[in-house]
Structure 1
C-alpha cells in the first residue's frame, strides 16, 4: 500500500514545580507534566502516529521507560530518531494533525513556535502540520487540570 494512516495518543498527569514542554516549547507556569522523559504529549502523540502508520509498534517499544538513559530526555531527540526510523522504511510524511486537550494555561500564543520546531525536525513544508488546542470544558481528568492529553493523526506515503 502506498498511503498509510496512523493514530497516536498520549496523556500525562500534571504537577506543580515541573517543567511543561508542549510541541518542543517550554510553557511558562507553575504546573508541568510528569513522565520518564520530558513528558511532551504533543511530540509523543506524533511519534505514536508515525510509528503506527509505518507498522512499527509504539514509542514504548522503541524508547521504553525502563531505559535509564532516556530519563528526562528531550522529546525532540526522540522525535528525530523516530523520523529516521520512518525514513529508513521508505516512507515520507504527507501531513500530521494534532489536537491538544488542556484546561490551562491557554497555549494558542505558542502554537506557531511549536509548528516551526516540529516542521524543522520532520522536514515538513509549511501547511503539512496542524496543531489545535481545546479544553475539556471542566470535565474529567483534563478538565480538572489534573492532566494533559494529545491526539495525532499522521499520513505516510511510500517514497
Structure 2
C-alpha cells in the first residue's frame, strides 16, 4: 500500500539566530525563530511523513512545551521520525519539498540538504528532491519577514 502526505511550515526571520535549512547552516544576517533550530524545511518534511502514515504531526511527537526539544537539531528529530515510521511498518519512497524564501540564494546548498535528508532517513539521494523559490517580493516571504516550506512524501506499508 502506498500512502502520501503533505507538510507545511513557516517561521519568522529574526536577528541573532542561525539560519538552518535541511540541516545546513547558511551564512545570513537573520535566522529562523522557533523552539528547536527552526529548520522550516525539515519541519515540513517531518509533517509530510507523519501525515502519510496517519501518525499526527511534529507538535504531537515533539511538543514545543517540552524542554528536551529546546534548540534541538531538526536532523536529529528527522532520524526519530524515520524510526517512528519504521516501528509502524512504513518505509519512505520519496520526498519532494520546496523552500519559499526571497533571500538568501539557496541553490549552492541544495545538494547538501538532499544529502542530509537522505542520510537521516537512510535513503538514496535520488529519493529526495529539495527546491527553492522566491515569491517575487510578494507576501511575508517576499518581504523578508520569514520563510516557508512545503513538502510531500510517499511511503509504503511494509506490512499489508
TM-score normalized with structure 2 length: 0.97
Matched with 1:45 is: 44
Shift of 1:126: 2.7
* Partner-residue secondary structure (3-state), 2:45: helix
* Partner-residue secondary structure (3-state), 2:126: coil
Matched with 2:66 is: 67
Correspondence list, 1:84-95, <5 A? 84-95=83-94
* Partner-residue secondary structure (3-state), 2:44: helix
Task: Report the count of equivalent residues.
Answer: 158
Q: Where in structure 1 are there 5+ consecutive unaligned residues? A: none
Check if 1:57 corresponds to 2:56.
yes
Check if 1:35 corresponds to 2:34.
yes
Matched with 1:102 is: 101
Distance 1:12 1:156 in 2: 26
Shift of 1:157: 0.5
Distance 1:127 1:4 in 2: 19
Distance 1:126 1:29 in 2: 26
Q: Where in structure 2 are there 5+ consecutive unaligned residues? A: none
Matched with 1:140 is: 139
Distance 1:96 1:154 in 2: 5
* Partner-residue secondary structure (3-state), 1:138: coil
RMSD: 0.6
Distance 1:42 1:122 in 2: 15
Matched with 2:153 is: 154
TM-score normalized with structure 1 length: 0.98
Matched with 2:78 is: 79
* Partner-residue secondary structure (3-state), 2:68: helix
Shift of 1:158: 1.4
